[in-house]
A and B are shown apart, each in its own frame.
Chain A
Amino acid sequence: MIKILKLEIILFWIAVGFYAISTFMYVTALTFKKEKFFPKATLLVKIGLVVHSIALIARWIEVGHGPYMTPYEVLSSNAWMSTVAFLLLQYRNKKLRVLGTFVMPAVFIMVGIAVMSSAEAGNVPSSFLLYWLIVHVLFAKLAYGSSMISGGLAGLYLYKERSDRLNKSNYLLDKLPSIEQLDVLSYKFGAFAFIMLGVMIASGAVWANKAWGRYWGWDPVETWAFISWLIYALYLHLRVMIGWRGKKAAWLAVFSFLMVVFSYFGITFIYPTVHENLTV
């Protein structure tokens, strides 16, 4: 077991290396207008993701449960999901490669914190592993990934809109989809994050009811997830009912993403919670 875990850690470090270089290349590409860096950076992300995936599978096989028990596992798997979401998006729309400038630094920070935390395997009692918990964890990761993409697209929107407004020409930004398209994409991922958060909260509540005899306990992480969901609800309602578009909607999408990040990695630092496994 120790040998496989060691291998997993080595693979994880290699993935971190690929992510670090790709982050550097994305930022350099956008800052110094080096367009040729984008495909190379994306290739590095793909290689990093393959190595990262092998590391996660190796760990899963060895410890006998999915990557959700320790901070190391949670951060690593959330980074994995965000990277997958980004790669899928840029695969469908090559113009969105530049989104890596926003997504990859966040991924790099996550895996960076993960490598600093203990990689020791956590013990999961079999009674803990109900189907609802697996659904809860899976949708938590999807929520995180889609929220990050929505926030990243909103960030791109704001960046491009500002450049357009100030007449700062950047031919890389010109190659992006129109700001209207960025706005719609950010909205779509925001709506997706809202549903994923909803499923995450609902499945967590059903699991809690089966385990503890209550759906809701106002635990700090529960409450903050509820707050994040409400903020996404607000974002969607403001768009649909009041007609918020553009800058205001983009800022709210970025804010919503920050709220989601805080519910995963901020609130656990401040308050005691039943989600002890998220505490770094």
Chain B
Amino acid sequence: MIKQITDKVWKLAKSRKLAIWLIIILTLASTIGILVPQKRLDSKEYQEWMLNNPGLIKIINTFKLNHLFHSRWFIGLGILFLINLTACTIEQVKLAIRRWKNFEQLNFAIKDLNKTKEYQVNSKLSDTKLKMENVLNKKRYKLNLKNDGLIATKYKWGLWSSVICHIGLIIIIIAALSSMMFKMYGYDPIAEGQVFTERHEDYFYIEEAPFFNEDHLGFKATVKDQRIIYDGNKFDKLETDLAIIKNGRMIKEQTVHKGHPLIYKGVYFYYDKHGYVPLFTLLNKDKDPIYRSFTFFDTIEGKNGEEFNMEYQFPQTNLKIKATFYPDFAIKDGEYITKTELIKNPVVDLEVYKSEKKIYDGLLKQDKPIQLGDKTLTMGEVRGWTGFVISRDPGNTPIFIGFIVALIGMIMIYLVNPRRLKVEFEEVENGTKIYIYGKQDKYKADFELKIKGLVKELYTDCHRQATD
């Protein structure tokens, strides 16, 4: 009884039809994921779309269509696909082993290519056999001699191409699933000179997968320097010298820029964006500091090369500021601009609100204090900051390996077609009759053309040699 059930389950798991249906369902599900705006992609767009499609709200919420690619049913579909793919691959391995063993067997033929490919030469059987062997050897066929003929094979290892491709896909899916289970993905801006600790509560933003294990590596990171590189007049990239410190010693230092992350014990530091941190000092009427700190100015929508903005409420005061920072301030056609991103003439365009009432609207220049009622605000030293995406992902390397394996398999499927030729000889009165059969797994019609050409070539060659 149990065996019957397991047999049925296995039969279903390895079903090719199931594979096709799963591909169709994955395709449709991915299409729905495009048609329904995904929450995390653009929440504003999502809200608008929901307002325009009120009738769909219930369905969308029930099936989590607005968060489809991370929904349980989509992940379940992925797991089902993985099971089916694995079962099909196991079957393919069995088949490949069987075919590998029987590759040189004689019992095959090809449609429309029975003994019609026969011709006669006027040489003796033994000579003809030898000549045929030479011709096929030249074409790099591997020969297996039999009493009544020979079997010529080529690209036998191509029997494994489909298996290799599917194993690559299995690695990718397992790696992607392990990422979803064990990955950590965070973000933190680090100013020049600032020390970042790897404690997760110190991250600006962090996402931890359900089974992520926060085993501390006990290191710190600091930005030693950052440089803006120009290509002519245009911003090209930001280079940041990032150092890893452990037990008070610097153990690794690397220049990080886009596409060149620092990797330390599986933790990746990717450049994401950058900005500026001017030192603001707020003094009370007695000239005692009530606030003194580097304050982060972020880019608009995270795009570099544009304005740098911030809104901030000074602690223990009712003062709130809205500010735009210009590292190399200038006025062009009445508009405030920054000529470059280099810190040459730092200026802040500042609005200050006291209990929601605007009390200041003007410029704040470096080391030139302004009065805000009975308080004084100064902008001092200006440093840069770099925002790092920090991730730790056990699936990172396996996914890459999976890509490579799958691609090797795909290329093999396309280029390496196992071929078999069977040649039979029959001694007749005036010479030898030759029969040629051929078989190729793919592109059969194409191979029939090829084999016609080969037969012609073999005939010409054997006949010429026979005549010689």
Contacts and interface: CB of A to CB of B under 8 A. Distances in A.
A234 B235 CA distance: 45
Interface string B227-246: 00101001111000000000
Contacts of B34: 220, 223-224, 227, 267, 271
A26 B412 CA distance: 36
A63 interface: no
A218 B20 contact: no
Interface string A85-122: 00000000000000000000000000000000000000
Contact of B407 (A202, A220, A223): A202
B391 A213 contact: yes
Interface stretch (A8-16, A35-43, A75-83, A190-198): A190-198
Interface string B55-73: 0000000000000010000
Interface string A259-274: 0000000010001100
B19 interface: yes
B236 A241 contact: no
Nearest to B165: A198
Contacts of A128: 258-259
A139 to B, nearest CB: 10
Contacts of A238: 20
Interface string B407-444: 10011011000000000000000000000000000111
Residue of A181, A215, A224, A238 with most partner-chain B CB within 10 A: A215
A237 interface: yes
Given A183-B445, A231-B27, A213 B234 contact: no
B33 A223 contact: yes
A202 B389 contact: no
B196 interface: no
B407 A198 contact: yes
A128 to B, nearest CB: 7
A230 B69 CA distance: 16
A180 interface: yes
Contacts of B17: 242
B258 to A, nearest CB: 4
A131 to B, nearest CB: 10
A202 B396 contact: no
B412 to A, nearest CB: 10
B217 interface: no
Interface stretch (A47-55, A164-172, A204-212): A204-212
A33 interface: no
Interface in B12-47: 16-17, 19-20, 23-24, 26-27, 30-31, 33-34, 37-38, 41-42, 45
A210 B443 contact: no
Contacts of B69: 218
A276 to B, nearest CB: 11
Nearest to A191: B414
Contact of A127 (B234, B257, B446): B257
A125 B258 contact: yes
Given A230-B27, A233-B23, A237-B19, A187 B443 contact: yes
Nearest to A235: B23
B270 A212 contact: yes
B23 A215 contact: no
A188 interface: yes
Contacts of B38: 218
Interface in B66-84: 69
A184 interface: yes
Contacts of B103: none
B185 A213 contact: yes
A144 to B, nearest CB: 17
A230 B45 CA distance: 27
A199 interface: yes
Contacts of B294: none
A191 B27 CA distance: 18
Contacts of A24: none
B406 interface: yes
A242 B16 CA distance: 9
B270 A213 contact: yes
B403 interface: yes
A72 to B, nearest CB: 19
A170 B268 CA distance: 64
B20 A181 contact: no
A188 B410 contact: no
A206 B400 CA distance: 7
Contacts of B396: 209
A227 B38 CA distance: 17
Given A184-B443, A218-B38, A227-B27, A237 B258 contact: no
Nearest to B26: A230
Contacts of B407: 195, 198-199, 202
Contacts of B414: 191-192, 195
Contacts of B399: 205, 209, 215
Contacts of B446: 181, 184-185, 188
Contacts of A272: 41-42, 45
B130 interface: no
B449 interface: yes
B380 interface: no
B369 interface: no
Interface in B393-409: 396, 399-400, 403, 406-407
Given A198-B407, A202-B407, A218-B38, A234 B23 contact: yes
A207 to B, nearest CB: 8
Interface in B248-262: 257-261
Contact of B27 (A211, A214, A234, A237): A234
Nearest to B68: A218
A191 B413 contact: yes
Contact of A230 (B30, B37, B259, B413): B30
5 contacts: A125-B235, A192-B414, A213-B391, A230-B27, A242-B17
**Nearest 6 pairs between A and B by C-beta?**
A127-B258, A213-B270, A127-B237, A202-B403, A213-B389, A230-B27
Given A185-B446, A209-B399, 6 more contacts: A127-B260, A191-B414, A234-B27, A237-B23, A238-B20, A241-B20
